[in-house]
Structure 1
Amino acid sequence: MSKDYKSKPDDRSDNVEKLQSMVQDTIENIEEAHETMKFSSEEEKQKIQEKNKRREQSIKGMRAEIKDEYNYNND
């Protein structure tokens, strides 16, 4: 017995807003991590710094994707 599944159409209309929200959340996480570092051991500070570097790279990628999505939706 097989089921027929229909794929959903590609709805990219709100991707820019979703990505902008993700960027904002990530920035807030970086800021919170900076506050946490004030009370952390040296080892924990190092881990937080490394994680924040990864977060910053993610933000760069999301911002590039925002530009792509904006261009896609406005062509």
Structure 2
Amino acid sequence: MPNPKPDDRSDNVEKLQEMVDNTLENIEAAEETLQFADGEEKQQIINKNKRREESIQAMRNEIKDEYRDQHQ
């Protein structure tokens, strides 16, 4: 059985930032579709974007933690 790869976190900040950027793009795309959505679909989009905003905040907190860990 091969040895597991060592835990390389050197690019975590970059990966997390890319995830934030992608999520922001998804929010923008969803907001553009709101004008074409009906009541229930509109509410689903709004709810999903709220969850996306929460995820972004969590990812930004993780970015801060990773940056701090890398620069100690």
Same fold by TM-score, threshold 0.5 exceeded? yes
In structure 1, the gaps of 5 or more residues are none
SS of corresponding position for 1:38: helix
What does residue 7 of structure 2 align with?
10
CA distance in 1: counterparts of 2:32 and 2:59, whole angstroms: 24
Q: What RMSD, in angstroms, separates the aligned Cα atoms of the two structures?
A: 0.6
**Alignment partner, residue 49 of structure 2:** 52
Q: Does 1:69 align with 2:59?
A: no
What is the aligned-residue identity percentage? 62
Q: Which has the larger radius of gyration?
A: 1
Deviations 1:4-50 (A, max 9, x none): 23111110000000000000000010011000001110111000000
Structure having the higher helix fraction is: 2
Large movers: runs of 4+ above 6 Å:
none
Corresponding residue to 1:37 among 15, 31, 34: 34
- Paired AA for residue 48 in structure 2: K
Q: Which runs of 5+ in 2 are unaligned?
A: none
